[in-house]
Each structure stands twice: as structure tokens, then as C-alpha cells.
């Protein structure tokens, strides 16, 4: 237990120092960026990132509705972050993210599917239980993030 605490402290300290050096900011704002910014989502665990547009509180990907809303944010570009396991499969009607399966791998008791969402975006990865992941290669699949974070461009 003590080693786990020391390891967590070390990771946090190193991340904090890197952020301070790269952004030349005071320690308090650097600490806030680590805890609540996109850096924490990419540094700790797996996450997907998509460039989206906000329009009247609606989050759009490649000019199509995603079924997600951000009523408190203004219009413009943003980055949508979500973790591979925080998704739900949907029927593919309007209001979802859709892509073609380009890869699949087993991770512990789950199946990770790599999806191609379009030419201008990197592939994303979603996690499903094996019994729900019986799709053929290049099959079209629709999903929606259930938990996500949005970071607006400044």
C-alpha cells in the first residue's frame, strides 16, 4: 500500500513539474490543469479525442449530430474526450458516431474494437464485452459516449 501511494505521489509530482516547465505557469494553475484538463485524460488511462463543433448547444462531428449536448458552452470548435469503455451501442440513426471496424483485439475479459470514423480523424477505440463484439471486419458500427469531457478552443 505504501509503495502504491509513493508511486502515485511520484507520478503526480513528475506530471506537475513537466506541466510547469512546458507552460511556465505558477504551481496552482498547473495543478488545476493536471486535474481537470485534457492532459489528465491522456496521461492517465486510455482515451479517445475527436475534434467537434458546437452549434446552439449541440455537439456535431463532421457536421452530423452526435446526440450529445453541451448547453452551457458557446459555439465553435472543441475537443471531445471519452474513454473506450464509456460508450453505448445505438441503432445507427441520426445522433451517433459511426465508423468501420478496422481492428479488434482481446484485452483481459473484453474486446477492443478500433474504428475508422473518417479520413480526417485518427481511429478511435471502443471496449465491449466479448458477447457484444461479434462484428465482422469493416462492419459499420454506431455508438455514443455515455461519459465524456469537452474542452473548448480558446
Q: Count up the domains in the chain and report the number.
A: 2
Task: Give the whole-angstrom CA distance, residue 13 versus residue 16.
Answer: 5
Q: Are residues 94 and 147 in the same domain?
A: yes
Q: Are residues 97 and 24 in the same domain?
A: no
Q: Are residues 34 and 53 in the same domain?
A: no
53, 70 contact by CB (below 8 A): no
**pTM greater than 0.75:** no
150, 78 contact by CB (below 8 A): yes
Q: Are residues 12 and 86 in the same domain?
A: no
Which positions ≥6 away from 72 have C-beta within 8 Å?
57
Q: Are residues 80 and 138 in the same domain?
A: yes
Q: Are residues 145 and 117 in the same domain?
A: yes
Where in the sequence is the domain holding 11, given as residue range(s)? Answer: 1-44
Q: Are residues 52 and 35 in the same domain?
A: no
Q: Are residues 36 and 51 in the same domain?
A: no
Task: Give the whole-angstrom CA distance, residue 150 versus residue 73.
Answer: 9
Q: Are residues 29 and 96 in the same domain?
A: no
Cell of 46: 486510455
* Tens-digit pLDDT profile for residues 33-91: 444 566 556 656 788 999 999 998 899 998 889 999 987 888 899 999 999 999 999 98
Q: Are residues 78 and 21 in the same domain?
A: no
Amino acid at each position: 500500500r505504501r509503495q502504491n501511494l509513493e508511486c502515485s505521489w511520484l507520478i503526480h509530482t513528475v506530471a506537475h513539474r513537466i506541466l510547469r516547465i512546458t507552460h511556465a505557469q505558477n504551481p496552482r494553475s498547473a495543478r488545476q490543469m493536471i486535474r481537470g484538463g485534457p492532459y489528465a485524460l491522456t496521461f492517465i488511462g486510455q482515451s479517445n479525442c475527436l475534434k467537434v463543433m458546437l452549434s446552439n448547444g449541440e455537439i456535431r462531428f463532421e457536421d452530423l449530430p452526435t446526440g450529445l449536448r453541451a448547453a452551457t458552452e458557446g459555439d465553435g470548435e472543441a475537443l471531445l474526450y471519452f474513454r473506450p469503455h464509456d460508450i453505448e451501442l445505438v441503432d445507427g440513426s441520426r445522433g451517433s458516431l459511426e465508423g468501420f471496424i478496422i481492428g479488434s483485439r482481446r484485452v483481459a475479459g473484453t474486446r477492443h474494437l478500433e474504428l475508422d470514423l473518417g479520413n480526417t480523424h485518427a481511429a478511435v477505440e471502443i471496449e465491449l464485452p466479448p458477447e457484444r463484439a461479434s462484428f465482422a471486419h469493416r462492419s459499420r458500427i454506431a455508438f455514443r459516449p455515455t461519459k465524456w469531457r469537452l474542452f473548448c478552443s480558446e
